[in-house]
Each structure stands twice: as C-alpha cells, then as structure tokens.
Chains A and B, each alone.
Chain A
Amino acid sequence: DAGITQSPRHKVTETGTPVTLRCHQTENHRYMYWYRQDPGHGLRLIHYSYGVKDTDKGEVSDGYSVSRSKTEDFLLTLESATSSQTSVYFCAISGGGRYTEAFFGQGTRLTVV
C-alpha cells in the first residue's frame, strides 16, 4: 500500500463535533491528497498539499481544513461534522510531476450521526 497509513480506519461521531483524520506516509513523497468517495460520485478531491505548510483546496473543500507540519503527515479536520460528511475518506500520495500516479491508503470510514 505504498507506505500509507490512515487513522482511524473507522469512526462514528456526532453532528457538530470536530473530527481529525490522519494520514502518514513513509515514502517521502512531496504531494499528499485527501479524497472522499461516495456512491454515485466517485473520488472527489478535498484538499491537497504540495509541501510542508503548502496546501490548496480541491473540488469539495467546504467544511474541511488541512494541515501539514511534516512531510510524512497530512491531517484532515472537520471543524463541525455534518451528516453530509458521512463518507469514506482516502489519503493519497504522489511524487509530483506532470505524469504521475497517485497511490492510495486503505481509507477511513466516517459516519456522522
């Protein structure tokens, strides 16, 4: 799995609570990404990082924030979880460059009740 660890793997939380998902890589890749996967929508990019402290928004960034203080860690935070954020979240990494594939972690299943 390309040296990517996501934690937790499963989480149930209540509406309105903050939630942080962690992605840890051992590949020393420059780029890291957070996606969500929902039935009928495929994978959608939430935020990505192109270096320590360098992040940018993706297609569905509203309600999410990220931080990257070290090359190996990329955190995704839901400041106040909503039921619409119930999803499977995937972290991915890539080495950068125009023609580069992304390698994915195993995912975190988040349920907001």
Chain B
Amino acid sequence: GESVGLHLPTLSVQEGDNSIINCAYSNSASDYFIWYKQESGKGPQFIIDIRSNMDKRQGQRVTVLLNKTVKHLSLQIAATQPGDSAVYFCAENMRGSGGGADGLTFGKGTHLIIQP
C-alpha cells in the first residue's frame, strides 16, 4: 500500500478560518517532505518543504509540522482564502543517497473546499 497517505479525502473550511491538512508516512528512513497544491486542470505547485532535522517550518501563511515519533506531517494554512481551494498532497523522499527527486512518493491528496 501507499507509504504516504492523507487522513481525509475532503476538507471543508470557512473562508478566513485556519486549515489543517494531515499526512501520514510509514518509512522512518524518509528525511525530506514536500507539500504540493494542485488546482483543477493544472500541475502540482510546490508550497513548502521540510527536512527531518526540523519539526516546523513556516512560509507565507503556511506552516508545515513534522512529528517523526508518529510519522505524521501536517500543513497549516492561515486565514484560508478562496484561492486556497485545491487538492493538497504530501510527498516524501525515501532514498537514502543523493540524486534527484526520483525517490519522491506522493500521497493521494486532500481536496480543500473553502466555504464563503
């Protein structure tokens, strides 16, 4: 089965509220994680990444939290806006050596719906 997955296929939030999207991973050797956003009809867009030597990383309105103890990753979006409506999915890099992103494994995604 998938080593990277999401807890909820759909998440509905009110505009202006904070959103939290979760992701579980099973490979303790994974040391690099990425969140992507995919709008309808478009390719995935990089949002934020985090290495396993960090617990938290912040970007503009987004925060990624990594809990290695329970192999859990979350994406927090502050003050959700209509433009945040999209599918969000996480990816992990399980490769133990250098190279490219060919070791990335992607979760299936959570559809974030913004209610007016």
Residues of A near any B CB (own CB < 8 A): 1, 4, 30-31, 33, 40-45, 48, 50, 56, 58, 90, 92, 94, 96-107
Residues of B within 8 A of A90 (CB): 43-44
With A42-B89, A42-B108, A98-B93 already in contact, the answer to whether A106 and B43 are too (CB < 8 A) is yes
Question: Is the beta-carbon distance between B100 and A48 smaller than 8 angstroms?
Answer: yes
Number of A-B contacts (CB under 8 A): 72
| Inter-subunit contact A40/B100 (CB<8 Å) | no
Q: 18 A-B contacts, Cβ less than 8 Å apart?
A: A31-B102, A42-B89, A42-B106, A42-B109, A43-B89, A44-B106, A45-B102, A50-B99, A90-B43, A92-B101, A94-B101, A96-B99, A97-B98, A97-B100, A101-B49, A102-B104, A106-B43, A107-B41
Q: Are A56 and B44 in contact (CB under 8 A)?
A: no
Q: Is the CB of A31 within 8 A of B42?
A: no
| Size category of the binding interface on chain B | 20 to 34
| Identity of the chain B residue whose Cβ is nearest the Cβ of A29 in the assembled complex | B100
Q: From B97, which residue of chain A is reached at the shortest CB distance? A: A98
Query: Can you name 6 extra interface pairs (CB under 8 A) apart from A44-B106, A97-B100, A107-B42?
Result: A33-B102, A42-B107, A43-B91, A97-B98, A98-B32, A101-B101
A104 touches B108 (CB 8 A): no
